[in-house]
A and B are shown apart, each in its own frame.
Chain A
């Protein structure tokens, strides 16, 4: 910072006098610094008060359909402005926490990260990209940096909130973290969308197509298998075991007599494909698998974890049921499952919903035993809280949801439903 302490001044007689009053030079310096100081909070107030567009899959599709050179240039500026609005809100929320809380080094680390990106975004807003080359460098420096810098902040934040839990009420922490996680997902999505659109534009993109951005047609069974493998890698490292999975879906009931698996290679078009954001689905599945697999291993269950897929095109939704036989969750633990509780993984009872502790060196979506796994998962599901109205007005509106149904002593079913557009 720009302020310094007063130093003693030697007078003619070689004595030291305490310079207790400021000279006019120091006074004008003080006023200079004051002027800058008063400006610092203005962008926070300005951007935090801006209305944000409603978050929806619809919007993401529209951006994809409108993709063109001109569009991407405009979108760059729009992206910066949106990120500034979200970033400012985060800063405002942090600044509303009690002073001592933000002095906690883990929490201030997060706060400082947002200061850093706010600074970089403001600089970017003063000179937005005007052509494809500038857009390229913009995505690589500003956007990629934004995503990187915020990528691993959650473990630290979790540690921080654990250390300040005596300074805030449970409700205060929950409110803060719910908002924080939701807005964090939104910010990363906005940045990713622009990056993906830019990539598509530079590579092969479909003019007017819907899948130029972050939303892609996903092969759901592939995604499921990929994530199961990932989690099994962790299990192998930690327990020297892995857990098998079994996938089935609504149009291919298992051939009961032959016990044969349905043939997934048969291309039945869109039934097994679903448009969604891959890394969101990755996170959701990884998190659920971590819990289910661990439950199986710790309870020495050899049966596979069963995943059932049900998709619909019109209206577009995807429903998954992940069924395990991991002996279930204790009712009282179940009540707290979406709380940012920090103690469930401490007790050595082998509760089936403790998240796996990932050994160091394993990168990727690591939410290592910090109690944030499920609340974050819930936020990923709820981010597209769109309702799909029934045209006939007969059926209730549907929206994304997550339900945990546990059969204590037997196992747990997790129901996941996400809307497609």
Chain B
């Protein structure tokens, strides 16, 4: 862990004014920021409650369980599902909070990671106080809380990524530890959100059509039947739009050429699928444009996508002629840890993403208890149906960001997502020619019984 690049005169060369500013603000490196409701001297002692929660094990679930398997939904199933979510969330949050507590102070004291800590703890406190859910009305209120939670925590993803970048810049955590922490935290986050969204959609469905009968392989409303080819083209168009600034001639941008089982269709979560495809295509487009853009005035070489419809999986092989990556860089492409200079650029790009939420809106009662409450509750808006269909998503922001906001974390993030769905993401490269990215996704219907799909 070299701190040489920071030590090499980078303090020395600051002006006296800057040094005085540092002296004035140094107390901000302390553990208890003034804006925080949770990070205060009593927190250490109140944390005893977390230790108790850590003694409980999380219950891994399969998709079918989540989807309320069986032919009909029933009131009991809905309530069971609600209580499952109610009990599981604090247990899983406790594990992630504990992770943060064991990292070095200098790492977590970072503004971004401290936001995450506070956000998680706030949620932990709020959820463990919810009493058992025994009526559908209680479930409705519970769903509102869950919906607000999803909203509140949308911004956590940005903070997680910015925090990781700052860690890379300061080099205060070794690569492996950062990668482990990020993968773990992200996986857990995906898992919590999927569980919550499943319950929300289950409740919504039951409310709308209580006697509806489901097929035995039903896995839930949040999954849609995705036509591979259609989604690929959809995402490609978005990516092309984002590249306009560096390559104005849209018509010369590479085409997507499909081969293989081009009519493949499979159930998946659309936001995740789009995110995965967009990061991969973004890399391919960027590489192709950079390699050929200035050398030819003709149409750039196409990106060839092979779709393989295996029995239990769908495989996308995305081949570009973008010049490839050197093999030593290839090994590092999956890591959240970047070279400090690169990390600085990425972070600067991050800061420029328009509309990205940077501050949290954690609420407490006058007595200091954490609550999760949507700010929309006083509105004329329809508050009875917290819907998952229009949920805000950080992923949406990330997918549509213009090219110059290169974050450098696309592939590590995608790997976590692919991994979560029991799939895989690999890359091979022909240096000087191009790269092949291989995305494997499990067909959820086949794996709906698989408990390992859920990582706490």
Which residues from chain A sit less than 8 Å from chain B, CB to CB? 1-6, 8, 15-18, 20-22, 26-27, 30-31, 34, 36-43, 45-47, 49, 91-92, 94-105, 108, 111-112, 115-116, 118-120, 122-123, 125-126, 163
Contact = CB atoms under 8 A, between A and B. Distances in A.
Given A119-B26, A126-B16, A41 B170 contact: yes
Interface in B19-44: 19-35, 39, 41-44
B23 to A, nearest CB: 4
B41 A105 contact: yes
Nearest to A13: B380
Contacts of B18: 39
Nearest to B16: A126
B105 interface: yes
Contacts of A116: 27
Given A20-B151, A119-B24, A42 B351 contact: no
Contacts of B29: 40-41, 91, 95, 115
A37 B44 contact: no
Contacts of B6: 41-42, 45-46
Contacts of A105: 41-42, 44
B375 A96 contact: no
Interface in B90-131: 100-109, 111, 117
A3 B109 CA distance: 14
Contact of B358 (A30, A118, A123): A30
Contact of A104 (B16, B44, B166): B44
B10 interface: yes
A18 B10 CA distance: 41
Contacts of B34: 1
A135 B149 CA distance: 58
Contacts of B9: 46
B312 interface: no
A380 to B, nearest CB: 29
A99 B11 contact: no
Contacts of B351: 27, 30-31, 34
Interface in B341-381: 351, 355-362, 374-376, 378-380
Contact of A42 (B14, B27, B103): B14
B359 A98 contact: no
A26 B16 CA distance: 27
B362 A5 contact: yes
Given A108-B32, A115-B29, A99 B104 contact: yes
A98 B102 contact: yes
B44 A22 contact: no
Given A3-B359, A16-B378, A22-B358, A39 B22 contact: yes
B28 A37 contact: yes
Given A26-B358, A45-B6, A122-B23, A111 B30 contact: yes
B20 A126 contact: yes
B225 interface: no
A122 B374 CA distance: 45
7 contacts: A16-B379, A20-B151, A31-B351, A39-B21, A116-B27, A123-B20, A163-B44
Contacts of A36: 21-22, 25
B3 A49 contact: yes
A15 B359 contact: no
B12 interface: yes
Contacts of A104: 44
B214 interface: no
B207 interface: no
A42 B361 contact: no
Contact of A40 (B7, B25, B101): B25
A46 B375 contact: no
Contacts of A47: 11
Contacts of A99: 100-105, 107-109, 117
> What secondary structure prevails in chain B residues at the interface with A?
helix
A100 B102 CA distance: 7
A38 B359 CA distance: 18
Contacts, number: 178
A15 B155 CA distance: 23
A126 B42 CA distance: 37
Given A6-B359, A39-B22, A94 B111 contact: no
A96 B106 contact: yes
B10 to A, nearest CB: 6
Residue among B104, B169, B362 with the highest chain A CB neighbour number at 10 A: B104
Given A95-B109, A115-B27, A126-B19, A5 B359 contact: yes
A42 B31 contact: no
Contacts of A26: 358-359
Nearest to B379: A15
B103 to A, nearest CB: 6
Interface string B143-175: 000000001001100000000001001100000
B27 A119 contact: yes
Nearest to B352: A27
A156 to B, nearest CB: 12
A102 B356 contact: no
A126 B17 CA distance: 9
B358 A97 contact: no
B205 to A, nearest CB: 26
Nearest to B162: A34
Nearest to A3: B35
Given A40-B22, A99-B105, A22 B27 contact: no
Contact of A37 (B20, B41, B105, B111): B111
B296 interface: no
Nearest to B111: A37
* Nearest 5 Cβ contacts at the A-B interface: A95-B106, A46-B11, A105-B41, A100-B101, A18-B375
B30 A112 contact: yes
Interface in B372-416: 374-376, 378-380, 392
Contacts of B297: none
Contact of A5 (B31, B104, B361): B361
A97 B104 contact: yes
Nearest to B392: A20
A142 to B, nearest CB: 12
B375 A16 contact: yes
A21 B355 CA distance: 5
A164 to B, nearest CB: 8
Contacts of B30: 108, 111-112, 115
A97 B31 CA distance: 12
Nearest to B166: A38
Nearest to B51: A166
B26 A122 contact: yes
B28 A95 contact: no
Contact of A103 (B12, B31, B169, B380): B31
B22 A42 contact: yes
Contacts of A42: 6, 10-11, 14, 22
A327 B53 CA distance: 48
A17 B102 contact: no
Contacts of B25: 36, 40
A122 B102 contact: no
A115 B26 contact: yes
Given A49-B3, A96-B105, A40 B355 contact: no
Interface in B435-455: none
A46 B379 contact: no
Contacts of A123: 20, 23
A125 to B, nearest CB: 8
Residue among B11, B102, B378, B392 with the highest chain A CB neighbour number at 10 A: B11
B7 A22 contact: no
B356 to A, nearest CB: 7
